[in-house]
Amino acid sequence: MKIGFIGLGIMGKPMSLNLLRAGYQLVVTDLSKAAVAELVVAGAEAVATSKAVAERAEVIITMLPNSPQVKQVILGEQGVLEGARKGSVVIDMSSIAPLVSREVAGILAGHGIDMLDAPVSGGQPKAIDGTLSVMVGGPQDVFERCFPVMKAMAGSVVRTGDIGAGNITKLANQIIVALNIAAMSEALVLAAKAGVEPERVFKAIRGGLAGSTVLDAKAPLVLDRKFNPGFRVNLHIKDLANVLETSHELGVALPLSAAVMEMMQAIKTGGQGDEDHCSLVKHYEKMAHIEVRRSQC
């Protein structure tokens, strides 16, 4: 099976490499010539447009920043729709607004093209080692047909409903991650301000009810002051914007999500938008006039 992959960024490039390692033939395109060149060295075929990708592939995967880019790449000039054949499948693994997923899927269906919305969680480290969590919306038969492709990039692939359900699930995921990082930041800043070593607090609580995957992944980065991005603040702001837009459309109040959104906006304004989202701790540190780090003793 030949797979098309459009979007070779911080997530898309390692995901593409894992497809090659799994034995799939791959045709790719991206605005970054360097990323495309790296995939070509690894064995992929490069083309100039999304249309050309769709002409050569049975399954076309998109991994793009947000809703406008997905609509342009799939529906726009020289886009996927112009090149895809009847019976092709588009798997959009971007994190976008659920209503946009439904809109795009409806247009594709009118041309005999199936679609899954399949956003991922796990950040760059899990994209590299192929253990992402994939949350999928779409028809059961299309999901089953494409499951092996998605599993080549992931540790977990779960269908949560029809088109749009994948991105609703991703929004729920991003709420929980954002609030976990905020709670961790509050707790570690409190400990540091009280003169208790944050590293010891982390070790003491990680095995109890307060323990979480987020805590295990992000607390060590904060303690070591490593804020290079696994998942950028700017991207989490984008996801929370989709969360709040969707919540307003549905009439659901999400006050904690709104509060964390404002804190992340403050971090972005302070120049840390391209840092890892665990740099949210800096918002609390600034207010408390303290820094969370490992003891030098």
Which domain-ending residue is among 102, 130, 162?
A: 162
> Residue 156 and residue 140: Cα distance in Å, rounded?
16
Q: Is residue 181 a contact partner of residue 280, using CB atoms and an 8 Å limit? A: yes
pLDDT at 123: 85
Which domain-ending residue is among 162, 179, 202?
A: 162
Helix or strand run (H / E) with residue 46: strand 45-46
Its domain, for residue 55, covers 2-162
> Is 37 within the bounds of a domain?
yes
> Is 196 within the bounds of a domain?
yes
- Shared domain for 158 and 252, answered yes or no, is no
- The CATH number covering residue 270 comes to 1.10.1040.10
> Is 295 within the bounds of a domain?
no
- Shared domain for 12 and 33, answered yes or no, is yes
In the chain, the N- to C-terminal Cα span, in Å, equals 56
- Shared domain for 152 and 179, answered yes or no, is no
- Shared domain for 139 and 28, answered yes or no, is yes
Integer CA distances (angstroms), 173 to 51, 119, 120, 121, 122, in order: 32, 10, 10, 8, 10
* Catalytic positions: 170
> Residue 37 and residue 30: Cα distance in Å, rounded?
10
State how many domains the chain has: 2
- Shared domain for 42 and 189, answered yes or no, is no
pLDDT tens track of the chain, all 297 residues?
Answer: 899 999 999 999 999 999 999 999 999 999 999 999 999 999 999 999 999 999 999 999 999 999 999 999 999 999 999 999 999 999 999 999 999 999 999 999 999 999 999 999 988 889 999 999 999 999 999 999 999 999 999 999 999 999 999 999 999 999 999 999 999 999 999 999 999 999 999 999 999 999 999 999 999 999 999 999 888 999 999 999 999 999 999 999 999 999 999 999 999 999 999 999 999 999 999 999 999 999 865
**22's tokens:** 């799994």
pLDDT at 297: 55
> Residue 46 and residue 6: Cα distance in Å, rounded?
10
Q: How many CB atoms lie within 10 A of CB 32?
A: 13
**128's tokens:** 């590299």
> Is 297 within the bounds of a domain?
no
- Shared domain for 172 and 151, answered yes or no, is no
Give the DSSP letter of residue 84: P
- Shared domain for 156 and 24, answered yes or no, is yes
> Is 293 within the bounds of a domain?
no
- Shared domain for 144 and 192, answered yes or no, is no
- Shared domain for 58 and 83, answered yes or no, is yes
Integer CA distances (angstroms), 219 to 30, 124, 271, in order: 34, 17, 21
> Is 99 within the bounds of a domain?
yes
Q: How many CB atoms lie within 10 A of CB 236?
A: 25
> Is 249 within the bounds of a domain?
yes
The pTM for the full model equals: 0.90
> Is 50 within the bounds of a domain?
yes
- Shared domain for 177 and 145, answered yes or no, is no
- Shared domain for 81 and 219, answered yes or no, is no
pLDDT at 122: 87
- Shared domain for 172 and 158, answered yes or no, is no
